[in-house]
Chains A and B, each alone.
Chain A
Amino acid sequence: MTNSTLLLCLLAVPMLTAVTSVLVRQDSTRYALVVPSSLITMGLALTLIARLLSHGPIRALGDWLYLDDFSAVVLLVVVIVSALAGAYSMAYFRSPEQGHVLRRGELRKYFSLFHLFTFTMVVACVSGNLALLWTAVTATTFASAPLVDFYGSREPLEAAWKFLILAVAGELIALLGFLLLYASGIAALGSAYNFSIPILGAAGAHLSPSLAGLGFMLVLVGFGTKAGLAPMHTWLPDAHSQAPAPVCAMLSGAELNCAMLAIVRVLSLATPSAGGRAGELHAAMLGFGLLSMTIGVVFLISQRNFKRLLAYSSVEQMGLIAAGFGIGAPLAIVGALLQMLTHSLAKTLMFLNAGNLLLRFRTTSIAEVRGVVRVAPATAVLVIVGALAIGGAPPFGLFVSEFSIVRGALGQPNWGSGALIAALLLIGFIALVAPFSRMTFGDGNAQPSETRAELGLPVLVPGFAVLAALLILGVWIPGPLHALLLGASRVVSR
């Protein structure tokens, strides 16, 4: 198959699955579609990435579609998280402990939007035209907002509305940024040129520096809203605490990274022309990153709801990723790229855990969950080991990526930000692991009469799969992934 065909198939599979999920009558058919669809999507994505590694960036359809090493990293994240969340969704809604009585048509809505959500994120990863990239990132909002409102009561509605309004406002600001970026190329490329990543990348230093720089700043603020960067993050904890657990995994694990992809892409396009002022662009990125980390950590400390706790951890982690790109040292950039992957895996695991705890204890309050280890040992292992992994403890993948970012930052002449990042990561680790260890081992008000009842295997399997992957990434980065990360860091730091 040619590359264009492969790319089109990659887009067609989730789209067709979404359409089929709307059309079919039986919920059992909808369930049956989930795993094959995500496996085919993943297979196509991996084939494309393999070709990319051997033959270089893939351009198709007059640069409307484009895949290079950097977008491939995010594509990898999207297909993995979507497959895990899909498999878990099936188990979750079929689980006997599921408290919510599904009404007619709810699963039709859920699965069609779920696949549509995956589709929009895949489009964002493979779009070569920047107008298409903007459209795709914007479309992720519309596919996911109704999913946030899935449980259909007042709080989910509030969360969905806040998400929608803030995200759309941010997207408009980002579009102004993209318009300025286009205008920055007019002097060099003529008034009607193909607004695509390879064309702008080739024009490099000939873009108008002030327009491109201003464009990047607006994209940073605008899509920063969607990427969960402080102080525009206020929708995030609400949306992540109200959506069903697998949707939270998609929001935190995949969607935030798509917005980050767009931001960093524009950064890499605007940097070459900026010359001596390139430092200002990176400083802005670093500033938003450090602010997000600080706010994320401060709110981690005071949380009483474990889903909100995880949401603020996402604010902290996205801040770390932004800071990694902002520092701009090669080691920090590779770290930030790996962090995109490891954080997504770990956050997916933790939101699946949150779903399991919700199934077992029917609450999201940290104080009301005690002694998980006594009533459900396998669930407890996932919870506590997952918390250690996402906190960045060795020997898990996040330790490697966070360590690289910190080392990259400390190697800079201005090592203060590196020290700040290290301190915040340490506080964040304690603030995150402490509540989960209280939930796992604590006595509290545990009922002595409560019998031991493990959750079913289907809801536990995806979690153990992620845990294994995180453990492997902590000790060994496979060759192709290593090549991909290095290639991506070259794209970003061009």
Chain B
Amino acid sequence: MLAEVILAALILLVTFAFIVTRQLRAAVSAYAVQSWLLGGVAIALFADSGLMELLLFGLLTIAVKGVIVPQILRRRTALGLAGRRETAYYVRFPTALLMGAALTLTGFIAATRIPYTHQLLPESVLGIALAVLLLGLFTTTARRDAILQVAGLLAAENGLLLVGLVLAPDLSLLIEFAIVLDILIAVLVMGFLVARMHQEVASTDTSELTRLRG
């Protein structure tokens, strides 16, 4: 049990990298590490419970989200100048940090309010999972760069999968399949649109895209 909690705590720590980083490449690496850790939680759970689905879940997570998706994202960040750019926020940086802290707290408080039947993991992991979900969604809304917005959604998905491991370990593999499918298509479609963005505005800064109003 301790191994899972430590791994989950590390996931939360890595997620903060999405908030503080100024480098696209660092965000992509953070996502890769986060996925490896999530895979680790599932495999440790498999060792505890013997639930075969969890082993598959872990391996799939590491293969697809720890290796393939970061590779695709790295190739996208290599386009143009995106890899070296300072990546801006829609909000000021200290505000972003404060929001991150507040959202983490919100995640933990929400976890105590959900009256779920205890399965394999303690409540603290649910708190971490919800915090990761919220931090990911926050990254998506607060960052200007398209690739970081995508990374935020992907991080949120990892948080959601961790929620799944806590609430419904038996459903996890099914949800994992759904999400993996989702992510692969999402990364393809988003990658296509990011390439289009380079073509149109010569950057991946979404604050250039503000013509539609009303």
Interface residues of A in 295-312 (CB under 8 A from B): 299, 302-305, 308
Chain A interface: which of B25-33, B58-66, B204-212? Answer: B204-212
A69 → chain B, closest Cβ, in Å?
26
Q: Which residues does chain B contribute within 8 Å of A149, judged by CB atoms? A: 193, 196
| A172 pairs with B157, CB closer than 8 A | yes
> Which of B160, B171, B214 interacts with A302 by CB under 8 Å?
B214
| Also in contact, A183 and B192, with CB within 8 A (given A154-B201, A165-B149, A165-B153) | no
Q: Which of A131, A169, A187 contacts B174 (CB 8 A)?
A: A131
Which stretch from A206-214, A253-261, A267-275 is at the chain B interface?
A206-214
Supposing A149-B193, A172-B137 touch, asked if A158 and B209 sit within 8 A by C-beta, the answer is yes
Residue of A160, A186, A193, A242 contacting most chain B CB atoms (<10 Å): A186
Chain A, residues 122-150, CB within 8 Å of chain B (1/0): the string is 00000001011011001100100110010
**Whose C-beta in chain A lies nearest to the C-beta of B149?**
A165
Flag whether B103 is at the interface (Cβ < 8 A).
no
User: In the complex the two chains form, what is the Cα distance from A152 to B149 in whole Å?
Assistant: 21
Out of A157, A164, A191, name the residue touching B119 (CB < 8 Å). Answer: A191
Task: Return the CB mask of A205-225 against B: 1 if under 8 Å, else 0.
Answer: 000101100100000000000
Interface pair B116/A161, CB less than 8 Å apart: no
Cross-interface CB contact of A192 among B153, B163, B170, B196, cutoff 8 Å: B170
The stretch that binds B, out of A2-10, A84-92, A174-182, A340-348, is A174-182
Tell which of A162, A165, A208 touches B115, judged by Cβ atoms closer than 8 Å: A208
Contact between A164 and B160 (Cβ–Cβ < 8 Å)?
no
* Contact assessment for A164 and B190 in the assembled complex, using a CB-CB cutoff below 8 Å: yes
Query: Which residues of the other chain, A, contact B179 by a CB distance below 8 angstroms?
Result: 175
Given contacts A180-B114, A299-B214, contact A161 B163 (CB under 8 A): no
Can you give 10 A-B contacts (C-beta < 8 A)? A131-B171, A146-B189, A146-B192, A157-B200, A172-B137, A172-B157, A175-B160, A176-B133, A183-B167, A191-B169
Q: Say if the beta carbon of A159 comes within 8 Å of chain B.
A: yes
Given A138-B182, A145-B189, A179-B164: A172 and B153 within 8 A (CB)?
Answer: yes
**Interface check A41, CB cutoff 8 A:** no
Do B115 and A161 touch (CB < 8 A)?
A: no
Q: A195 vs B175: C-alpha distance in the bound complex, in angstroms?
A: 11
Residues of B within 8 A of A208 (CB): 115, 117
Beyond the given A129-B174, A192-B170, please list 10 additional residue pairs across the A-B interface where CB-CB is below 8 A: A135-B178, A138-B182, A149-B196, A161-B146, A164-B190, A172-B133, A173-B137, A186-B119, A304-B214, A305-B214
Select one of A157, A165, A238 contacting B196, CB under 8 A.
Answer: A157
Chain B interface mostly: helix
CB <8 Å contact, A153 and B200? yes
Question: Which one of B178, B192, B212, B214 contacts A134 once the chains associate, using CB atoms below 8 Å?
Answer: B178
A305 to B114, CA, bound (A): 46
* Residue A168 CB within 8 A of the other chain: yes
- Shortest Cβ distance from A304 into B: residue: B214
Is the CB of B185 closer than 8 A to any CB of chain A?
yes
Proximity string of chain B (126-145) to chain A, C-beta cutoff 8 Å, 1 when within and 0 when not: 00000001000100110000
Known pairs A142-B185, A169-B140; A187 contacts B214 (CB<8 A) = no
Query: Which residues of chain B (96-119) have a CB below 8 Å from chain A?
Result: 114-117, 119
- Cβ-defined contact, A180 with B167, below 8 A: yes
Chain B residues in 8 Å Cβ range of A131:
171, 174-175, 178
Q: In the A-B complex, list the 10 residue pairs whose CB atoms are closest, starting with the nearest.
A: A192-B170, A158-B209, A183-B167, A135-B178, A238-B212, A142-B185, A182-B168, A154-B200, A131-B174, A142-B189
Residue from the set B181, B197, B200 with the largest chain A CB neighbour count within 10 Å: B200
Q: Mark B residues whose CB is within 8 Å of A.
A: 114-117, 119, 133, 137, 140-141, 146, 149, 153, 156-157, 160, 163-164, 167-171, 174-175, 178-179, 181-182, 185-186, 189-190, 192-193, 196-197, 200-201, 206, 209-212, 214
Residues of B within 8 A of A187 (CB): 117
Across the interface, name the chain A residue whose C-beta is closest to B171.
A182
* Cα(A131)–Cα(B168), bound, Å: 13
Q: Is the CB–CB distance between B114 and A214 below 8 Å? A: yes
Q: How far is the CB of A192 from chain B (nearest CB, A)?
A: 4
Distance from A314 Cβ to chain B, minimum over Cβ atoms (Å): 15
Question: Which residue of the partner chain A has the closest CB to B157?
Answer: A172
Query: Does A241 have its Cβ within 8 Å of any Cβ on chain B?
Result: yes
A242 touching B196 in the complex, CB below 8 Å, given contacts A131-B174, A161-B146, A176-B163: no
Residues of B within 8 A of A161 (CB): 146, 193, 197, 206, 209
- Say yes or no for A155: interface residue by CB 8 A criterion: yes
| Chain B residues within 8 Å of A308, by CB | 214
Given contacts A183-B168, A303-B214, contact A211 B116 (CB under 8 A): yes
Contact A160 B193 (CB under 8 A): yes
A91-115 vs B, CB cutoff 8 Å, 1 = contact: the mask equals 0000000000000000000000000
In whole angstroms, what is the CA distance A153 to B211 when docked? 12
User: What B residues does A186 contact at CB under 8 A?
Assistant: 116-117, 119, 168
In Å, the complex CA distance between A187 and B119 comes to: 11
A152, A157, A179, A183: the one within 8 Å of B175 (CB) = A179
Return the chain A residue nearest B174 by Cβ.
Answer: A131
Given contacts A179-B167, A191-B169, A214-B114, contact A135 B211 (CB under 8 A): no
How far does the alpha carbon of A146 sit from the alpha carbon of B194 in the complex, in Å?
Answer: 12
